[in-house]
Structure 1
């Protein structure tokens, strides 16, 4: 690889690292004896940094030139930073070269917007066409859809890639227009709806014609920036809940605001990335997807923001003593699932195990229940009752609250042990 290509790679990999919506997840694109690579739900090697970034993919921008001037973006037009761009063939060949060296299993491709959304989207599609059609590459590909791109280009891309994402960035239209005057929610939701509709139609077509190629088999994802604007956790989770009502939406990612640009009066002055809030939002997201909670149970008008001292499930349990104690030998799976310290797997094992014997303290421990938490909220055979009403909420909170995350200053974070996208070695 020549020096010019190495320089481009360094610039464009650095420019791409702030997009965290690139995790590969469950796509299956088999290799039928032709070409190279194989994307399978258990075949892609995942390596995540501490803040959730996936580093098993070549995470790269086609170019970091951009006609937009979003206040929160390192690649905004007004920034004085090194700029570079690959041709579609250069990026396709680079991906294959890294795959053959066993550096990567797939590709995450995004781009700054140059000339127009359609022009940018066409060049990204060209990269994928070269990979699929000329190199026979069957590995995982995630493409960032460009807001404002035509439906025809979204249709083309969806038949070539495994996942597409369109980042919302800012949860409310008002704040989006403040920080990204070139964007609006209509242009962002339009490709989201197009991907969703095409995916549903593709599923129906495949039921009739098995030879129909899959459309974004791994669905779509999006990213929301946390802390750049004044939205409450309630507003963010209400948005998340609406997005998850679409079967095509697989993940919403929460990215703590990092002040990567110079002073801008539109942005808050922060010293630390809100990692704890980011973590709590992911926990709340998990409750929405897997624990049958609704948004109003997690956050409401009285508690519009998540408690940073305890996780959302425990916070809900402390606020709702009337639901406890739960009898693990009698109560339903849904009630058991809401006990702090009992996860989905443990709840299922409890329901299975109690068919054969009465569950005791030791049995729950063997199943995998975190008794330090659960003991305040459950009743079981030959087990002392630890009723929430018998223990004050303050005592439970003090006993179970988590130590605060160690959040070094942004300068130290950058210089020392900040989670970073891995760099390629030569």
Structure 2
């Protein structure tokens, strides 16, 4: 192995892979048997960069050569950049060497398109197959499925990878046609449907036969680019995500703010960037849909097509629906308690469980982990120490933002000189 050449490839292809954020590795349990190498389990270790992106996996492209010319992609064929490609064996060797040094917990492998979908997908599968069969590697493997690849290759990929994902890239078909006219949305949908059916079938098979092989045990996910076009507001993005959750049983939809790297009249100006807080708000809204029982039209609608960047989506919903508050924390059902700002899933469950034995007051609620500074405006309890004032949603928002700013300045005394 030419170390200098491999290092050069690694620098190029790791940098090109940083724009893909869908690399979380939880959800798989692959036991180490027969004295193999590594062990993937629920709660696998993660490390995050300061902007919140996961770096726990060896995250690289097989190649940044590509036959497509997508406006938003740094690897598009018309972009004048340095190109490189790993061989299958080079990726295998890198993964094993990094794993032995305890740098990584697994591999996240994506790729540009060499000459067609099947050729590229076949090489990705070969990497996973070699790691599993020749090196008995039991660490986490996430493969990017190539849109348009055959069912046979997708089936084989599922036997060796923990998670598979097909990037939708643009949230809507209109956005894809505008920025990637060479691509067909159907090529992305078809493998997602195949994987959904195969995962369901293999899960049923596993119930009947304990030794049946695992198939993509961490499921499938996708990624959408946020802010590359003006036609895709948060409402369109969340409706699209909700559709794919329900139709294809996805584990996660990842939201990646568009990073201006190329000049193109179809794209935002190079001196503009999607604020990181917009990504954060989309993830919070996504969490509300998946775990808190919120519907998309409760979070965003025709009158409010973008999420409020100042406050989280749950608080935003509460302020628009003050007529349902306050709720009695000692009587309300779990679903209503989950809608109170400042109360998370675990705290809500503790409240419902604890109030069976004692009526809860503010001290009890604090001890159960509730963010009382927010919740106090929306609940009543067995106490008069705080009497809810007759405040409008606008005033409550002002109070909460002011308190957040005060806490920030208290924790950052060096910032006081700026005011």
TM category (shorter chain) comes to over 0.9
**How far did 1:248 drift?**
3.7
**How far did 1:391 drift?**
0.6
String of CA shifts for 1:299-356, please: whole Å, max 9, x gaps. 1111111111111111111111121111011111111111101111110111111111
Change (3 A) 1:62 1:133: same
Asked whether the equivalents of residues 66 and 114 of structure 2 are also in contact (C-alpha less than 8 Å), the reply is yes
Change (3 A) 1:296 1:384: farther
Asked whether the equivalents of residues 193 and 248 of structure 2 are also in contact (C-alpha less than 8 Å), the reply is no
Matching residue of 1:57: 57
Matching residue of 2:47: 47
Matching residue of 1:422: none
Asked whether the equivalents of residues 31 and 37 of structure 1 are also in contact (C-alpha less than 8 Å), the reply is yes
Matching residue of 1:157: 157
Distance in 2 of aligned mates of 1:110 and 1:73: 14
String of CA shifts for 1:346-373, please: whole Å, max 9, x gaps. 1011111111111011111111111110
**How far did 1:81 drift?**
0.8
Counterpart check, 1:202 vs 2:218 = no
Asked whether the equivalents of residues 377 and 386 of structure 1 are also in contact (C-alpha less than 8 Å), the reply is no
Higher relative contact order (CA 8 A, sep 6+): 1
Asked whether the equivalents of residues 378 and 385 of structure 1 are also in contact (C-alpha less than 8 Å), the reply is no
Matching residue of 1:367: 368
Matching residue of 1:424: none
Extract unaligned runs of 5+ from structure 1. 407-426
Matching residue of 1:115: 115
Asked whether the equivalents of residues 310 and 400 of structure 1 are also in contact (C-alpha less than 8 Å), the reply is no
Asked whether the equivalents of residues 257 and 274 of structure 1 are also in contact (C-alpha less than 8 Å), the reply is no
Matching residue of 1:9: 10
Whose helix fraction is larger, Structure 1's or Structure 2's?
2
Matching residue of 1:290: 291
TM-score (norm 1): 0.91
For 1:341-420, what aligned pairs fall within 5 Å after superposition?
A: 341-383=342-384, 386-387=387-388, 390-401=390-401
| 3-state SS of 1:60 partner | strand
String of CA shifts for 1:195-239, please: whole Å, max 9, x gaps. 111000001111122111111000111111111012111111111
**How far did 1:387 drift?**
4.3
Matching residue of 2:129: 129
Change (3 A) 1:329 1:347: same
**How far did 1:274 drift?**
2.0
Instruction: Say how many residue pairs are matched.
Output: 401
TM-score (norm 2): 0.93
Matching residue of 2:179: 179
- Cα root mean square deviation, aligned: 1.5
Query: Comparing 27-36 with 267-276, which one deviates more in the overlay?
Result: 267-276
| 3-state SS of 2:108 partner | strand
Counterpart check, 1:267 vs 2:264 = no
Matching residue of 1:220: 220
| 3-state SS of 1:286 partner | helix
Distance in 2 of aligned mates of 1:297 and 1:248: 22
Asked whether the equivalents of residues 20 and 52 of structure 1 are also in contact (C-alpha less than 8 Å), the reply is no
Matching residue of 2:33: 32
